[in-house]
Amino acid sequence: MNQSRDTILISDTIRAIEPAGEEPDERFFGTSSGDLGALSLLLQRYLRAAKGTLRTLEKPKKCTLICCADHGVAEMQVSAYPPETTAQMTANYLLAKGAVANALANFARSDLYVADLGIKAPLPPLPTLIDRKIAHGTKNSAKGAAMTREEALRSLAVGIRLAHHFTAQGYRCFLPGEMGISNTTASAAITACLCRLTPAKATGRGTNISDERLKTKIEVVRQILAVNRPDASDGVDVLQKVGGFELGCIAGLILGAASKRAIVILDGFNTGAAALIAQALSPAVTGYLLPSHLAAEPAHAAILEKLSLKPYMDMRFRLGEATGSSIVADFLDAAIDASKSVRTADKNAPEAEYDTADMPQIQRRSISENAPHDDVIRLPEFPAPDALAMAACQKRIDSLAKPIYSLGRLEALAVRLAGVTGVAQPPLASGRTLLIFTAEEPSERQKHLTAAFAAHAGAPVTLAQLDAASSAAAAFAFGQKIAHELTADCPLIGISLTAPSNETAKEKADLLAKALRHEKDGGDLLDLLHRLPPASCVEAAALLGAISAAAKNRSLIVLDDPATETVAHFAERIAPTLTPYLLYVQRDYLALSLAASCGVAACLGIRLMDAALHMLNDMKTFAQTAVAVAADGPGRGRQG
C-alpha cells in the first residue's frame, strides 16, 4: 500500500511540473541590462521559475535542508572518515550547531532543517530531527543493488512530501545539502551512468582522500557499475542500484519544489547527482534549478553541462552542506534589492514605489580638496602579512568539524584577512567601506545599483570625483588621502572605477593593460602614466594612490572591475610586497561578467569574506563536537 501511494505521488508530481515561465519584462533591465552581468540571468531564471513579475519581485523565504543517510559501500574503505561520522555530524547540526551548514545558513539567513533518511549508527535524542528513516543505510552497491525499488520510490516520495510541507509554510527557495559517508562514491556512479563518463573521470577525492585510496575508489565505482548495470533511461533504476537514500530525497525535493514553482539552488557534486536523477524523471525540473559554484570534484562540470547550468563562482569547494548555494542565495537577495531600487530610477519601468531609506547615502569627495603634493609617484615596500596570525587561523580552520581543506578559497580568504590584520580570528563585524573613483558622473541607475549592493554588504560608499585636467601626481595624492582616511580603522575596502557601459569598461581595461604592460623598477611612474589619455591617466594614478595607502594601513583591498584589476596587477609587478593585500574578485572567484561594475563586484567580494568569517566564527572544532577526525589523506594527524 505504501509503495502504491508513493508511486502515485511521484507520478502526480511529475505531471504537475510545468515548464518554467517566459522571459520577464526586459524593460526593467533596460538597455544597460549588462550592468548586472550574469546576475541579470540569475534574476530572470528566478522570475521564470516563480512565474513572477517585476512588480511582485520579492526575496524568497529560504529553507536549508540537510539530508542524512549511510551507505553500505563505505565498507569498501572509500572515505577518509569512518561511517559513524554520519550520525556524529547529524548531532552536530542540531546540538552543537557547529557545522558548515549552520554557519552558512546563518550567513544566508536561511532556516536550517535536518532529515534522517537512513542513518545506521544510534543517535542521541534530537527533538528537531525530521525522522524519515527508510532503512539503516543502503546495502553495499559494489556487491548488488544499493536498495530495493520500493525503497528508491520511498526516498523520492519523502523528498516530494518535504517540499510540499515546506512550500505550504511559505518557503520558495530550497538549499539542499547532504551528509553520508561515501556518498560521493554513489554520486560518481550516478554521474558516470547519466553523463556517460568513465569511472576514472567521474570519481574524485571526496573527503580529500589519499592517492592510494582514490585508486581504490575508482575501482569500486567501476565494480558498482559492472555489477548493477543501471539503466540510464530509468531514473528510479539508477537511484535503486547505485544511489543513496539522501540523494533520492533531494531528487524528490527537486521534483516537489518544481511542482510548486519553488526554486532549488544546487550546491556541489552530490546535489548535482541528485538533480540528474530528477532530470531523468522529469526534464522540465531544470527550469527550477539555479547553479551555484563549480565544485572541486572533476565530474561536477559534466553534471552542470548536462543540466544546462553555468556556475556563478569557482571556490574549489569539496563539501555538500549547502555551502556554495548559500552564497548564491545571498547574491540573489542582493540582486533583488538592487532591482527594486533601480526601478525607482528607471523612467520607463512600470510605476512602483520602494523604500530605499535603509540604503547608505553616497559620500562625495572632490579632487579639488587635495592637499599639496610632490610631483613624484612611488610605491613603497609594504609590511609582510602576519605569519603567526595566518598559521593560527589555518590551524583553527583545519580543526573545524569538516573534511580538511574542503572549503577551498573560503578558507584562503579567512587566512588572508588574518595575515593582513594580524588577528588570528577576525570578527564577523569587521569594518568595510567602498571607494569609487569617477571621471564622469555615474548614471542614476548605476548609483542605485551601487547603493543597493553596498547596503547589502554593509559598506558605506565614497564617490571620489576626478578631473581629467588634474595632474597624475595630484590624483595619486588624492587617492592616497581618501583611502588613508577610510581605512584608518577598516580592514576591508572595495575599490572601483566607473564606466557608462560594459563596452566602455572593457575598452578602458584594454587601454590600461596595453599602456601599463611594461614594468618600471621604482622611481617616478609619471612618464609611464602619461602614455594614457588624460582621463585614464588621472584614474590610474588615483587608483595607485588609494591602493598604496590602503595596503600601508593593513587593509585588504577588494578589487572591483577589470580596469581596477589591471591597474592593481601593474602595481604589484612594481611592488611585489603589495600582492597579499589585493583580492581579485572577478578574476579569481566570480563568473558574473561585471565589466561596468561600479562597486557591485567589490560588494559581492565583501560578502564572500563575510561567508568566510561565518565559517571561522560560527563553526566548532572536532573536539567541541565529538566528531571523528580523518583517518586518511592530508587531514590525518592534523585534525583534532
The one-letter amino acid at 302: A
Which of the residues are catalytic? 321
179 with 206: CB under 8 angstroms? Answer: no
E-strand ranges in 294-399 read 362-366
Rounded Cα distance, 613 and 421, in Å: 13
Tell me the β-bridge partners of 264. 174, 289
User: Where does residue 157 fall: left (phi above 0), alpha (psi -120 to 50 degrees), or beta otherwise?
Assistant: alpha
Q: Residue 95 has what DSSP assignment?
A: I
Q: At what angle do helices 408-421 and 600-618 cross, to 10 degrees?
A: 90
Q: Which single residue is written with the C-alpha cell 572536532?
A: 622
CA 375 to chain centre: 44
Rounded Cα distance, 276 and 195, in Å: 9
All residues at 6 or more sequence positions from 34 whose CB lies less than 8 Å from its CB, including other chains = 40, 501, 502, 593, 595, 596
Phi and psi at 435, nearest 5°, equal: -115, 120
The one-letter amino acid at 88: Q
Question: Residue 433: in which H helix or E strand, if any?
Answer: strand 432-438
10 Å CB burial of residue 573 (0-12, 13-18, 19+) is middle
Q: Positive or negative CA dihedral for 633, 635, 637, 640? A: negative
Strand 492-497 and strand 461-465: the pairing is unpaired
Strand-by-strand arrangement of the 61-69 sheet? 130-131, 111-118, 61-69, 171-179, 263-265, 289-290
Comparing CA positions, the residue from 130, 132, 137 lying closest to residue 156 is 132
All residues at 6 or more sequence positions from 206 whose CB lies less than 8 Å from its CB, including other chains = 78, 79, 80, 182, 184, 185, 217, 297, 318, 403
Rounded Cα distance, 244 and 3, in Å: 18
User: Where does residue 413 fall: left (phi above 0), alpha (psi -120 to 50 degrees), or beta otherwise?
Assistant: alpha
531 with 559: CB under 8 angstroms? Answer: no
Comparing CA positions, the residue from 432, 438, 439 lying closest to residue 454 is 432
Grid cell listed for 291: 547553479
Rounded Cα distance, 383 and 296, in Å: 33
Phi and psi at 23, nearest 5°, equal: -60, 140
Strand 171-179 and strand 61-69: the pairing is parallel
Q: Residue 621 has what DSSP assignment?
A: B
